[in-house]
Amino acid sequence: MRVSFNFTPLGSSLINALEVPSDLDLSAFARFLASQRVPHRITEEGLNQVIWVPDERAAAFVQAAFNDFEAGRLPEVGEASAVPQKSIRQRVFEAFWRFPLTMVLIFVCLLFFPVGMNLTDVDTDSLFARMMFVMLVDVQGEQYFSSIGYTLGQGEIWRLFTPMFIHFSWLHIVFNLLWVWEIGRRIETVHGAWAFIGVVMFSSLAANVLQYLMSPPSFFGGMSGVVFGLLGHALVWSKAIPTRDIGVPNGVYIFMLIYLAIGFTGAIDLLGLGSIANGAHLGGLLGGLLTGGLAVLLHHRRQVPPTQ
């Protein structure tokens, strides 16, 4: 049903009628609004799309129409005047432009993915061995893990961080990188690129150190410790500063905490999906909780007016 509006054209004074996630395709909804002659403008603000309209009457109409749109009750409108869909290359370029360090982190993990796949024998001089947390040493043809003290004494400090780039299966890397994308880009948007990389590095360090301390020497790797760190950071920040919520649903926090707890029971190992680095998960979470707390303290400190 067509509704007649007598709106003035869009000017400088606009009303925020609706905010939805940026990954929701609003092209069909925008065509419907155009067919109803509802003046509107759609912009991207952080991780959301905002629909702007000239007055309250238009805002009420947009909100009611969007409920029908989500329920599939709006009539279809032809796409003749629709904006062409973006290609995959355009979407990737746009993602690099908006979330540069999140995308670089994902790209580096993909670049090193072949290193951890199909491992049989591990040479002490291989790239895989050089990216593990501690050095492998060869003693009369037998390979042994060295201590962290010996490793750092050799100047190989990069090993404190490089295990996060090693993944051992497609399931392993896809699961981790999807979470890096979903949570990392939100933190990068709210706190900026350098703060985001600081959270990643500290979470990685905490994850690798605690895994080393809690378990016998072994090959371990993956971005899951960092994922738990990103979650911990987002949780502390969002609960302490709700006006600048990072936007992770509460259900995600609950799911990850349950997953962490189940991991310590050994139940996941019994499914045949590989051994779970529970120490890395816990260490990453603790690291993220600390960076989140630090971010909150710095935020409050910046809000305190200087004394005269």
User: Can you tell me whether residue 215 is helix, strand or coil?
Assistant: coil
* 308's tokens: 């005269």
Active site residues: 224, 281
- When computed from its CA atoms, the radius of gyration of the chain, rounded to whole angstroms, is 24
Tell me how far apart the alpha carbons of residues 269 and 299 are, in angstroms, rounded to a whole number. Answer: 41
From first CA to last CA, the distance across the chain in angstroms is 63
Query: Measured between alpha carbons, how far is residue 64 from residues 39, 57, 77 in Å?
Result: 15, 11, 18
Cross-strand bridge partners of residue 136: 145
Tell me how far apart the alpha carbons of residues 262 and 264 are, in angstroms, rounded to a whole number. Answer: 5
Say if CB 25 and CB 84 are below 8 A apart.
no
